[in-house]
Chains A and B, each alone.
Chain A
Amino acid sequence: MKHKLSRFAIPYVIWMALFVVIPIILVVVYAFSSASGGFTLENFSRLGTYTVVFTRSFRLALIATLICLLIGYPVSYMMSKEGPRFQRIAMVLIMLPMWMNFLLRTYSWMSILENNGLLNQLFQKIGLIALYNQVFGTDLTFFRMLNTQGAVVLGMVYNYLPFMILPIYSVIVKLDSSLIEAARDLGANTFHVFRRVILPLSLPGVLSGITMVFVPSVSTFAISKMLGGGTEMMLGDLIEQQFLGGAYNPQLGAAISLVMMLIVVACMVVMNRFGEGEEQAVML
């Protein structure tokens, strides 16, 4: 019986070969080709001119990931302590924003952060801007929030926070409660229970959460374009420009994509080393 069933996978194995493996091989081939088709390493040496973009992407993505972790971990932990009904509704509520397209949600942030947007209107009403002007001796009429790196980080945190909460939550909620009771019986206080039992056991969820936030953050191009105002170019923007934008150069684009793939592979290796968290984690 079991043996016969394994044939069911054959069509999908062919599918993967066509639409997953060959496309990736093509990226590798392009990355090492010149425009005329010969082998070259020039695409990689040209990456050096984009060091600024690389460091900016990494810095912003790391900050966003850290903030997501600092918000996401406590939320997941608190959620797991609530009743089952609350937990189910909370899970739905965390998934639900994805049904409104992320571009639109990001656009909504644009109208919140604009110079004459809602936040600045609010600050004006409650006199925060006047207070700021008095304290610092400036004469601002608004706080500049849109088109800054902070806005880009905010957009990343906003869009990818669910990807941090879901894997951590799904690991914490499955923790064997008898382990915690045992720790208590052996004299551990709340802090020690958390530090010595819950935190180490939830590490796989944390790691996959970090990957699931970091990878899309470092590669985003729409968020940086919308909230960064096009001045804060990131790796995603760079790739997009090489394929669909003005600076048409698919070979260079493929080289940057290859670097990005290597980042993902590195993340996966780290995750695999630290346990089997990814499966329940990726499944939302």
Chain B
Amino acid sequence: MKRNNSAGNRIFMALVFVFLYAPILLLIVFSFNAGTSSSVWKGFSLDWYGKLFHNRIIMQSVYTTLLVSFLATIIATFAGTFAAIGFYAMRRRVREPLMTVNNIPMMNADIVTGVSLCLFFVAFFTFWGDFARWFNGVQSFIDLPVRLTMGFGTLLLAHITFNIPYIILSVGPKLRQMDKNLIDAAQDLGCTWMQAFWKVIIPEIKPGIVSGALTAFTMSIDDFVISYFTAGSSASTLAMTIYGMTKKRVSPQINAISTLLFITVLVLLAIVNIREARQERLRASRL
């Protein structure tokens, strides 16, 4: 098993990576194109980057995408970590059906999740309209809005809903790996159970929380289908803006903004990886 690959195998792997990265490379290259075409090279230029920052639609959708992804990741990480701990403490008989429900948004086709949430929000708004009309009729102190529509709020709710399962799936195994005696030991040494929670459990499962949050954020950024069904017409993520453009012609400004986002992530990941490698080497040299 530990034997290395033959040259042929390595070439195969390299080809797969070329397949995965060629279109991305192409997008990046053509963000520097002087012409508008995405297949004919007209010379180097930074025009699209300059124009990008004056394009209100694109900047607004980038802002929406980042905001919804950040908020959804933060909320989902909190909620998911607590839920994972709760699940861990449950009896198997109670936990298993709940875990099945938890897996639904992950296993289900995105379009089904999107459609079901869309139906839910519409049904809720109808219900709310009736309620608000009744409520405004019987009293005159508070005036509830009668017409609610899908927008940033529903988008955020949808993102939180599909993010939490990833957190739970990443935190759960870390909890099961944890030595159960640690909690008892902490309590024997005088911790209240709240202290035991913050000082023992959380540090133990931190790697799971971090990788879960990272996955959730990636999923939020990459999502198009669920957002498309839950954002209504008032909010638009970058993916939705791109989709609107693909019907005609995608502006190279989109290439430019995607390049910027991609390079940012690349640099961040490189830093994290180099730091991890360095820490590992340090740990190894100490031993």
Contact = CB atoms under 8 A, between A and B. Distances in A.
B112 A96 contact: no
B111 A8 contact: no
Interface stretch (B42-50, B128-136, B138-146, B235-243): B235-243
Nearest to A240: B111
B266 interface: yes
Contacts of B239: 101-103
Contacts of A52: none
B269 A24 contact: no
Contacts of A254: 115, 119
B277 to A, nearest CB: 7
Contact of A158 (B20, B183, B246): B20
Contact of B5 (A16, A81, A116): A81
Interface in A34-58: none
Nearest to A215: B109
A261 B116 CA distance: 11
Interface in B123-160: 123, 157-158
Contacts of B246: 103, 107, 110, 225-226
A270 interface: no
B86 A23 contact: no
A15 B164 contact: yes
A284 interface: yes
B203 interface: no
Contacts of B107: 211, 215, 264, 267-268
Interface in A229-249: 236, 239-240, 243-244
B161 A20 contact: yes
B161 A261 contact: no
B32 interface: no
B21 A97 contact: yes
A235 B85 CA distance: 38
A114 B23 CA distance: 13
B104 interface: yes
A123 B161 CA distance: 47
**A interface, over-half SS:** helix
Contacts of A81: 1-5
A105 interface: yes
B27 A104 contact: yes
Interface in A120-169: 121, 158, 161-162
B204 interface: no
Contacts of A114: 39
Interface string A92-114: 11111111111111011111101
A243 B157 CA distance: 20
Interface residues of A, number: 97
A275 interface: no
Contact of A216 (B109, B170, B258): B109
Contact of B112 (A257, A267, A279): A257
A19 interface: yes
* Most chain A Cβ neighbours within 10 Å, of B23, B24, B262, B273: B23
Contact of A78 (B5, B20, B82, B85): B5
Contacts of A250: 119
B105 interface: yes
Sorted nearest first, the 8 A-B pairs with minimum C-beta distance are A9-B86, A12-B83, A219-B109, A23-B116, A8-B86, A108-B23, A5-B89, A23-B120
29 contacts: A4-B89, A6-B89, A9-B82, A15-B161, A23-B116, A27-B116, A30-B119, A78-B12, A93-B20, A96-B269, A97-B21, A98-B222, A99-B265, A100-B24, A101-B224, A101-B239, A104-B254, A105-B24, A158-B19, A158-B23, A175-B1, A177-B2, A216-B109, A219-B111, A221-B111, A243-B118, A282-B103, A283-B169, A284-B215
Interface of A: 1-13, 15-16, 19-24, 26-27, 30, 71, 74-75, 78-82, 85, 88-90, 92-105, 107-112, 114, 116-118, 121, 158, 161-162, 175, 177, 180-181, 211, 215-216, 218-219, 221-222, 225-226, 236, 239-240, 243-244, 250, 253-254, 257, 260-261, 264, 267-268, 278-280, 282-284
